[in-house]
């Protein structure tokens, strides 16, 4: 679609479906003096905390920690295999159970016994000296999924090829580091008597010790998140190979962040590009755009759109908040939507807020961003594992 420029020219939106409150929120973020206008809203955009989920925010001389969010480095990973549906059993319940046995999921869940030195796994050093408790959290949650919309899926593409796809981030340790730096930024705003349109737009100024400390911790958390996804893929692929009696099934892999900030060159300037629920889509880069657990997902190739700061959506985007979904959607309709798939059916009551109807239509989202990405593969879920 042709993106729409807001009346004040501060926001450029690719979203054909967008709640007015989300646009108002995006305008507030764009009003910050260091934000390069227009702010770009992806087609999956929806109301978030501080800044709109689905925002691409270009800044000069400052970053907003809450715009990156508390799940630093959250993203997607996918493995293409040489298997087809003919290599799979008629029922995937046993594979679902095997995945569940090796990948802990849920709020605060991790591996009870984990003998891994995460400071060796993630070789980049954080600025914050992690406490014994934080190191324990990072160690036990390494290789775990989390909750909410995080998932492991087995999918078939349009060629009948089997894919393993997962969505997760930096878990509890990323949340703790992010919360610390958000609090630091908010404290500085009070110290400097700076009034903000939203407290979660508190920022850190480039060149200050607080800014440098945040960036170091952010890069470490991003690396932890990527390593966490790699570890889960290792565990899941091994279980799939054992269950199916196959070896060496992987043929290719894609891994991408969608909550992060980094310096990039755009419009002749070096800017900080914060993607809050958006992925990098420079020309030729492969990415993953998931739909809801009952629809489709896409492997895409970036088209390098200058207008979007070479970005695209990170998923379908929520249509209903979690509380609204629980109020208006039913367990019965969720079971109907998930018919024919292996999933956490016994926990359906606790997954109503992840109902496919709580999300925007993924095909509409993909149509909205035809100028941002090109679909390479279309994936249909046959197994979905979520934390509750």
Which residue carries 């060796």 as its tokens?
A: 120
Residue 115: is it exposed, middle or buried by C-beta count within 10 angstroms (0-12/13-18/19+)? exposed
Alpha helices in the chain (DSSP H): 20-30, 65-68, 93-102, 118-121, 132-141, 171-191, 209-244, 322-328, 331-337, 362-368
CB 61 within 8 A of CB 34: yes
C-alpha angle 52/55/57, rounded to 5°? 115
Per DSSP bridges, beta strands 11-13 and 35-46 are parallel
Give the whole-angstrom CA distance, residue 323 versus residue 353. 7
Tokens of 104: 């802990």
Tokens of 16: 């054909």
CB 225 within 8 A of CB 141: no
- The candidate with the shortest Cα–Cα distance to 142, out of 98, 95, 103, 179, is 103
Catalogue the active-site residues.
314
């Amino acid at each position: 679609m042709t993106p729409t420029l807001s009346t004040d020219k501060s926001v450029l939106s690719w979203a054909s479906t967008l709640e007015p409150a989300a646009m108002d929120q995006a305008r507030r973020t764009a009003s910050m003096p260091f934000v390069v206008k227009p702010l770009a809203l992806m087609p999956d955009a929806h109301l978030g905390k501080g800044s709109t989920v689905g925002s691409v925010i270009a800044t000069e001389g400052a970053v907003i920690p809450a715009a990156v969010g508390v799940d630093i480095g959250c993203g997607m990973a996918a493995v293409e295999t040489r298997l087809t549906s003919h290599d799979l059993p008629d029922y995937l319940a046993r594979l679902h159970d095997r995945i569940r046995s090796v990948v802990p999921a849920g709020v605060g869940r991790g591996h009870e016994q984990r003998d891994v030195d995460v400071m060796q796994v993630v070789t980049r050093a954080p600025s914050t000296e992690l406490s014994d408790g934080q190191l324990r959290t990072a160690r036990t949650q390494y290789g775990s999924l989390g909750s909410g919309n995080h998932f492991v899926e087995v999918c078939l593409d349009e060629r009948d090829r089997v894919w393993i796809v997962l969505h997760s981030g930096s878990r509890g340790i990323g949340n703790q580091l992010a919360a610390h730096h958000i609090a630091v930024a908010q404290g500085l705003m009070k110290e400097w008597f700076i009034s903000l349109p939203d407290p979660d737009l508190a920022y850190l100024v480039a060149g200050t010790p607080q800014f440098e400390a945040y960036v170091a911790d952010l890069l470490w958390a991003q690396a932890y998140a990527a390593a966490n996804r790699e570890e889960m893929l290792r565990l899941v692929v091994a279980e799939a190979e054992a269950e199916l009696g196959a070896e060496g099934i992987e043929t290719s892999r894609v891994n991408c962040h969608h909550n992060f900030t980094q310096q990039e060159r755009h419009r002749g300037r070096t800017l900080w590009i914060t993607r809050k629920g958006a992925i990098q889509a420079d020309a030729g880069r492969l990415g993953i755009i998931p739909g809801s657990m009952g629809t489709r997902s896409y492997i895409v190739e970036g088209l390098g759109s200058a207008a979007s700061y070479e970005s695209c959506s990170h998923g379908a985007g929520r249509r209903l908040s979690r509380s609204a979904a629980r109020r208006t959607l039913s367990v019965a309709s969720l079971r109907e939507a998930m018919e024919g798939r292996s999933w956490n059916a016994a926990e359906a009551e606790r997954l109503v807020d992840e109902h496919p109807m709580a999300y925007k239509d993924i095909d509409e989202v993909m149509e909205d961003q035809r100028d941002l990405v090109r679909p390479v593969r279309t994936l249909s879920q046959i197994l979905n594992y979520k934390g509750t």
